[in-house]
């Protein structure tokens, strides 16, 4: 579904992604884990067209998207839940959700979608006219996920959904990601620092180390592989 070939991305002179090839198949949860500064967020931003790549290709359902502007990529059905939630702080919860459906034309369907999201996250319904900036971190994460669901994307890109969130809420959000995949058949690319959590959630995993993929395989296998811990803790 999503196919990345030999992708390189630079920030000024700094090559952050140094030739990555990976694939996400339909219906899968694929996770990309790795320590700080490995280039995970950059990869997701490049897929969504916020950051431009310097070489290599990204294909989504057969369309090359690495030269497309981000709003066209959204139209194709890629929903990105960015690192740090990035809700619109001065807008209400409802307005935030409406922004999620910005590219959709069918207003009736949108209403249904809204009800669906409030079913998934009853807490958002209670806060419907509250400014998003006043929500707690966990609630903002739910809002960010809800905002992405509004688009009904074919692929969700989750960027560090557990970052800066209370442990209890992390579990809730993890459940939500699982449900999206199992009940609604969503394809998910999950970027996480929390390797143990990500490996439990996903089917397959790639481990990124300073811009390169150093390990890949089924998540269950990697969960018991002590090489993962060694990469994280800097053993030679």
Q: Given the complex with other proteins, which of 4 and 39 has the nearer CB atom? A: 39
Site for other proteins in 196-235 (CB under 8 A): 196-201, 210, 228-229, 232-235
Distance CA 20, CA 137 (A): 32
> Other CB atoms closer than 10 Å to residue 57's CB: what's the count?
15
Among 25, 67, 86, 179, binds other proteins (CB under 8 A): 86
CA distances from 42 to 104, 138, 139, 173, 184 (A): 27, 23, 25, 23, 27
Q: Given the complex with other proteins, which of 216 and 232 has the nearer CB atom? A: 232
Site for other proteins in 140-159 (CB under 8 A): 147, 151
Of 1-9, 11-19, 109-117, 183-191, which part binds other proteins (CB under 8 A)?
11-19
Distance CA 214, CA 79 (A): 27
For the window 20-39, what string marks contact with other proteins as x by the rule CB under 8 A?
---------------xxx--
Q: Are 11 and 67 in contact (CB under 8 A)?
A: no
Q: How many residues bind other proteins (CB under 8 A)?
A: 64
Site for other proteins in 87-126 (CB under 8 A): 87-91, 95, 98-100, 102-103
* Strands of 38-144, DSSP E: 55-60, 63-64, 78-81
Residue 166 contacts other proteins per CB under 8 A: no
Q: Are 208 and 191 in contact (CB under 8 A)?
A: no
Q: In the bound complex, what is the minimum distance in angstroms from residue 70's beta carbon to other proteins?
A: 4
CB neighbour list of residue 187: distance below 8 Å, 6 or more residues apart:
1, 2, 24, 25, 26, 27, 28, 29, 154, 155, 156, 181
Q: In the bound complex, what is the minimum distance in angstroms from residue 14's beta carbon to other proteins?
A: 4
- CA atoms lying within 13 Å on the CB side of residue 98: 9
Residue 71 contacts other proteins per CB under 8 A: yes
Strand order in the sheet with 2-11: 14-24, 2-11, 55-60, 63-64
Among 164, 185, 217, 218, binds other proteins (CB under 8 A): 164
Q: Given the complex with other proteins, which of 51 and 127 has the nearer CB atom? A: 51
DSSP code at position 135:
S
Q: Given the complex with other proteins, which of 130 and 232 has the nearer CB atom? A: 232
CA angle 183, 27, 159 (to 5 degrees): 90
- Contact residues toward other proteins (CB under 8 A) are 11-16, 35-37, 45, 48-50, 69-71, 74-75, 80, 82, 86-91, 95, 98-100, 102-103, 147, 151, 160, 162-164, 167-168, 170-172, 174-175, 178, 192-201, 210, 228-229, 232-236
């Amino acid at each position: 579904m999503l196919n990345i070939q030999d992708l390189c991305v630079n920030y000024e002179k700094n090559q952050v992604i140094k030739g990555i090839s990976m694939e996400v198949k339909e219906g899968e949860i694929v996770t990309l884990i790795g320590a700080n500064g490995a280039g995970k967020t950059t990869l997701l931003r490049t897929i969504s067209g916020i950051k431009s790549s310097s070489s290599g290709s990204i294909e989504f359902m057969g369309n090359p998207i690495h030269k497309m502007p981000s709003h066209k990529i959204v139209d194709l059905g890629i929903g990105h839940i960015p690192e740090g939630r990035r809700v619109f702080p001065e807008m209400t919860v409802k307005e935030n959700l409406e922004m999620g459906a910005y590219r959709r034309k069918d207003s009736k369907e949108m209403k249904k979608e809204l009800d669906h999201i409030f079913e998934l996250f009853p807490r958002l319904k209670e806060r419907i006219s509250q400014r998003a900036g006043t929500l707690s971190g966990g609630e903002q994460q739910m809002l960010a996920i809800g905002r992405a669901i509004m688009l009904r994307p074919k692929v969700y890109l989750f960027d560090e959904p557990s970052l800066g969130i209370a442990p209890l809420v992390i579990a809730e959000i993890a459940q939500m990601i699982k449900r999206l995949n199992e009940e609604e058949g969503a394809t998910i690319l999950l970027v996480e620092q929390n390797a143990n959590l990500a490996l439990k959630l996903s089917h397959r995993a790639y481990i990124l180390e300073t811009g390169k993929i150093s390990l890949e395989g089924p998540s269950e296998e990697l969960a018991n592989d002590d090489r993962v811990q060694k990469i994280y803790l800097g053993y030679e």
